[in-house]
Amino acid sequence: ECQLMRTERPRPNTFVIRCLQWTTVIERTFHVDSPEEREEWIRAIQTVANSLKAQELPPDPMEFQGESPGSDDPDAPTGKSRPKATMNDFDYLKLLGKGTFGKVILVREKASGRYYAMKILRKDVVIAKDEVAHTVTESRVLQNTRHPFLTALKYAFQTHDRLCFVMEYANGGELFFHLSRERVFSEDRARFYGAEIVSALEYLHSRDVVYRDIKLENLMLDKDGHIKITDFGLCKEGVTDGATMRTFCGTPEYLAPEVLEDNDYGRAVDWWGLGVVMYEMLCGRLPFYNQDHERLFELILGQELRFPRALGPEARALLGGLLRKDPKLR
């Protein structure tokens, strides 16, 4: 499953191919010389995607609904207070995404009629792809956090060959698509979203969790237009104030300078990620961008931050503070 989207960011005649791999959104951006050429490329890619989709076998409904809740469905590995669930407790309505590790399905709980997003991961693939640590981390963070701007976990359970996470369904769409449609947000709107992201990050930090992957693609909106942060696979637990990490991870355009320099880094990487997201919302483009990652990293490390002329002084001060290259001053 892939999505094709036209955009004029970061330059005219751009189009984006986006797909879901496990919990991670994979995105590739392309630029062409004219709107006509862009349409030609999009039609060609869509034709290939439709052809591949047509070759897939139809989904077997028993894949989700035919599994016994008996010996294959042990107690949910969530806290004592979290209710238990089985595959048979849900109606399976729509495929929301599909990746290497499994699928995300829109489901309806039979007892309550409420809608959720169920992530179903194949255990053998998670093990083969060496993603056990990320899966365990995401499960633990989801189970141990409660905050209005973090995606909430309702149930977690397993069968003999699958892991299932039933999470709240944020049906307001991705912030990425709203921004792509409108190009920039007003300062009031950006301030609103930014405040909610800050609230969520401060909550995670208070629980010694560093998120490490703030980006537009991981920010959803709920039905009332509030932020919901998703995808906790890159979180690092046990990071107390002043503690540091060394793992090189994240999305290239959002990597903080200290990560690129292979230095120890701490909670300040989340504030850099917030700065990049806020810059995109207020300026309509990334603060540092190049298709060549080596050149991109040089820009992140050395280029001075620039602002559109129309940007107000308070917004400039905020972005300048968040995007300080020295994490001690950020």
Half-sphere CA count of 18, side-chain side, radius 13 A: 17
84 known ligand binder: no
Distances (CA, A) of 274 to 128, 170, 267: 33, 20, 12
Q: Provide long-range contacts, Cβ within 8 A and 24+ apart, for 182-187.
A: 183/8, 183/9, 183/284, 184/281, 184/282, 184/283, 184/284, 185/281, 185/282, 187/282, 187/312, 187/314, 187/315
Q: CA 137: distance to chain centroid?
A: 15
Our separate counts of H helices and E strands in the chain read 10, 12
Q: Which residue is catalytic, options 213, 224, 231, 264? A: 213
For 180: left if phi > 0, alpha if psi spans -120 to 50, otherwise beta; the answer is alpha
The rounded distance, in Å, linking the Cα atoms of 129 and 117 is: 23
213 among known catalytic residues? yes
**Binding site: residue ranges?**
129
**Binding site for ATP: residue ranges?**
129
Instruction: List active site positions.
Output: 213
